């Protein structure tokens, strides 16, 4: 089964990796996965929380309602994607990296009418998000197992299951088990 974005994106755009990443992918997709770095997990969640807060401020104040509403919808869809949920095509379309580019342009145009600190912060967050979306590779293609390499992939998956990251292991294991082991002090 092919990804819907592979069918919609023209081949000329799909060959240019940053453009393809902006139009068809989201760098925060399934970021909670233990194979992702802790920095990526925290940065993705901080951006989503910032979109919720600053988007809500914009809608409530009425000064930049459109950018705020789009940011709230983007944050909601991105939060579902952060946890690897809501894989319907319309929901995935709402969280592609190009939405950040559009919101950043809308924010810059709104800033021409008057300076608002919350709008400026939201615009900078969208610019950072679009930049990360353009330079980060889509990890879903790399993680798709190949049937011919089933034994090798199965062995790697068993290692990955045993070697969870610090955030996931904190929530899945009791904090009292191995809390004073040397391994836990090395990861801090």
Q: At how many degrees (to 10) do helices 65-82 and 117-135 cross?
A: 40
Distance from C-alpha of 175 to C-alpha of 160, rounded to nearest angstrom: 20
pLDDT 10s per residue in the chain (188 long)?
A: 456 556 677 777 778 888 888 888 888 888 888 888 888 889 999 999 999 999 999 999 988 899 999 999 999 999 998 998 888 888 888 888 899 999 999 999 999 988 889 999 999 999 999 999 888 875 554 444 444 444 444 455 554 555 556 666 665 555 555 555 555 555 55
Look at residues 168, 38, 164, 22 and name the one whose alpha carbon lies nearest to residue 97. 22
- Domain segments of the chain as ranges: 4-143, 149-187
- List b or e across 43-62, with b for residues whose CB sees 16 or more CB atoms inside 10 angstroms: bbbebbebbbbbbbbbbeee
Tally of CB atoms within 10 A around 185 = 9
The secondary element (H helix, E strand) that includes residue 11 is helix 11-14
Q: Which position has the token pair 């070697």? A: 163
Distance from C-alpha of 81 to C-alpha of 45, rounded to nearest angstrom: 11
Model pTM score: 0.68
């Amino acid at each position: 089964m092919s990804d819907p974005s592979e069918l919609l994106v023209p081949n000329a755009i799909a060959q240019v990796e940053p453009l393809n990443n902006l139009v068809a992918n989201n760098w925060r997709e399934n970021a909670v996965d233990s194979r992702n770095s802790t920095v990526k997990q925290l940065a993705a969640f901080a951006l989503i929380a910032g979109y919720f807060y600053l988007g809500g401020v914009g809608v409530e104040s009425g000064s930049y309602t459109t950018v705020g509403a789009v940011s709230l919808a983007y944050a909601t869809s991105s939060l579902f994607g952060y946890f690897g949920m809501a894989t319907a095509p319309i929901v995935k379309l709402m969280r592609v990296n190009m939405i950040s580019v559009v919101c950043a342009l809308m924010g810059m145009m709104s800033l021409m009418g008057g300076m608002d600190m919350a709008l400026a912060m939201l615009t900078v967050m969208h610019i950072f998000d679009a930049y990360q979306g353009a330079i980060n590779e889509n990890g879903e293609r790399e993680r798709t197992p190949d049937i011919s390499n089933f034994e090798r992939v199965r062995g790697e998956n068993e290692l990955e299951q045993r070697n969870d990251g610090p955030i996931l292991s904190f929530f899945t294991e009791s904090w009292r088990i191995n809390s004073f082991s040397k391994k836990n002090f090395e990861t801090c």
